[in-house]
């Protein structure tokens, strides 16, 4: 299942003993107290158990279906330049790749962020040599 989720462009998942990304807020498939559980974590703490079963295959099916419904966001551009941001956005949209903008505004500092979801990350990687694009001054931050 791990490789299948990766092939679908999923990044927000973690399977105990197998791997996956470890974000602060995520759902994880794990064995606890003799039960296969899907737990939602915030800041390293279980907030909610979404599913629990002694049946491993049942838990795997539930987890797979759950993870596949999540929009898996991939950062492709992080810049202070609106022209750089628009250049990437225009190219991606001309390739029929949907983008999402989610900027960071701090006092007098504006950072443009461009995301794609799920399997579109593979199309982006085919189109550009370096993804994600970061401004040089942002790499130091």
What pLDDT is stored for residue 51 in this prediction?
96
- Per the structure, the complete domain to which residue 51 belongs is given by 2-69
Residues 91 and 49 in one domain: no
CATH of the domain at 134: 3.30.70
The stretch 8-14 carries a mean pLDDT of: 86
The string of pLDDT tens digits covering residues 40-83 is 988 888 899 999 999 999 999 999 999 999 889 999 999 999 99
Residues 33 and 87 in one domain: no
The string of pLDDT tens digits covering residues 122-141 is 999 999 888 888 887 666 55
User: Residue 30 pairs with which residues in a beta bridge?
Assistant: 37
Residues 81 and 62 in one domain: no
| Residue with tokens 């993870």, as numbered in its chain | 67
Global pTM value: 0.79
The stretch 25-38 carries a mean pLDDT of: 91
Alpha-carbon gap, residue 35 to 54, rounded angstroms: 5
- 97: confidence class by pLDDT, cuts 50, 70, 90: very high
When the pLDDT of each residue in the chain is averaged and rounded to a whole number, the result is: 89
Residues 104 and 133 in one domain: yes
DSSP-based helix, strand, coil % in the chain, nearest 5: 30, 35, 30
Residues 62 and 94 in one domain: no
Residues 93 and 129 in one domain: yes
Copy the structure tokens of residue 111: 């950072």
* Of 52, 69, 86, the domain-final residue: 69
């Amino acid at each position: 299942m791990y490789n299948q989720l990766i092939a679908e462009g999923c990044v927000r998942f973690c399977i105990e003993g197998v791997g996956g990304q470890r974000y602060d807020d995520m759902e994880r498939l794990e064995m606890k107290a003799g039960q296969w559980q899907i737990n939602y974590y915030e800041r390293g703490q279980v907030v909610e158990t979404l599913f629990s079963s002694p049946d491993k295959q049942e838990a795997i099916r539930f987890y797979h279906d759950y993870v596949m419904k999540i929009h898996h966001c991939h950062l492709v551009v992080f810049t202070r330049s609106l022209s750089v941001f628009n250049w990437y956005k225009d190219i991606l949209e001309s390739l029929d790749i949907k983008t999402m903008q989610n900027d960071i505004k701090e006092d007098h500092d504006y950072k443009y962020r461009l995301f794609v979801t799920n399997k579109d990350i593979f199309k982006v990687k085919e189109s550009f040599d370096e993804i994600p694009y970061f401004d040089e001054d942002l790499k130091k931050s």
